[in-house]
Amino acid sequence: MRRVLQIWLLVFGVVCVGIAVAHLFFGTASIIGGGPVNATIDSDMRFYAVLFGAYGLAVMWCARDVERKATAIDLLGAIFFAGGLARLLAWVATGQPNWFYVLMTPVELVIPIVNYLLVRVVRKEAAAGPARPEVVAATHPSAG
């Protein structure tokens, strides 16, 4: 399960960095269903894109050593979850967004929960230690 979590975190981090780079260099043209904005909003969006890119890099950094960086993974998950809640707040304050962001909102709320649960499994497996060789030999048909 450790390797699955590592790969997942790397992929997730790369996607976050990719989204950030698109927003940074293409501005509002990278927003699905977006439209023209003034210079202040464009500036704000590009500023936050850099932070989201840093977020993705932090997730990727955690992937290397998930057991020791479990607390950081949980904190990053809490931040991502808060982002999902912020989408809900925007929806209430200004109305329903483009269908893509309607679909992304539950994803943004579920991913941190899944990450949290996966980290618990990996930590539990690490605490149990490696399987004993004689148990592996007795249970694995090609061993011996």
Of 11, 49, 12, 13, nearest to 30 by C-alpha is 49
pLDDT at 117 over 60: yes
Res. 16 pLDDT band, cuts 50 70 90 = very high
Q: What is the pLDDT of residue 80?
A: 97
Contact in structure between 120 and 66 (CB atoms under 8 Å): no
Of 57, 59, 53, nearest to 20 by C-alpha is 53
Res. 98 pLDDT band, cuts 50 70 90 = very high
CA distances in angstroms from 94 to 21, 27, 35, 97, listed in the order given: 26, 21, 15, 8
Q: At what angle do helices 2-26 and 39-63 cross, to 10 degrees?
A: 160
* pLDDT tens string 124-143: 998 888 755 554 555 556 65
Q: What is the pLDDT of residue 126?
A: 86
* pLDDT tens string 22-80: 999 999 999 998 888 999 999 999 999 999 999 999 999 999 999 999 999 999 999 99
